[in-house]
Amino acid sequence: MRLLISAATAAGLLAGPICATAAAESCARPLEMQAFDVEGLKSELMVVAISCQVQERYNGFIARYQRELQMQERAINGYFARTSGHRAQQMHDDYITNLANVQSESGIQQGTLFCAQRLPMFDEVMALGSPKELAGYAESKSLARPPGISECAEPEKKKKKVTAASDSK
Percent of the chain with pLDDT over 70: 76
Domain tally, the chain: 1
Which residues in the chain come in under a pLDDT of 70? 1-25, 155-169
Q: In this predicted structure, what is the pLDDT of residue 159?
A: 46
Query: What is the structure's pLDDT at 42?
Result: 96
Determine, yes or no, domain membership for 69: yes
Domain assignment present for residue 155? The answer is no
DSSP 4: H
Whether residue 59 lies inside any domain: the answer is yes
Backbone phi, then psi, for 28, in 5-degree steps? -95, 135
**Amino acid identity at 29:** R
Between CA 53 and CA 62, with CA 59 as vertex, the angle to 5 degrees is 135
| Predicted local distance difference test score (pLDDT) of residue 146 | 81
The span from the CA of 154 to the CA of 152, in Å, is 6
- Sign, Cα dihedral of 38, 44, 46, 52: negative
Q: Does any domain span residue 162?
A: no
Q: What is the pLDDT of residue 68?
A: 96
C-alpha 58/C-alpha 62 separation (Å) is 6
Is residue 123 a part of any domain in this protein?
A: yes
Is 58 part of any domain?
yes
* 156 domain-assigned: no
pLDDT given at position 92: 94
Q: Compute the mean pLDDT over every residue in the chain, rounded to the nearest whole number.
A: 82
Residue 148 lies in a domain: no
Instruction: Tell me which residue range forms the domain holding 100.
Output: 29-142
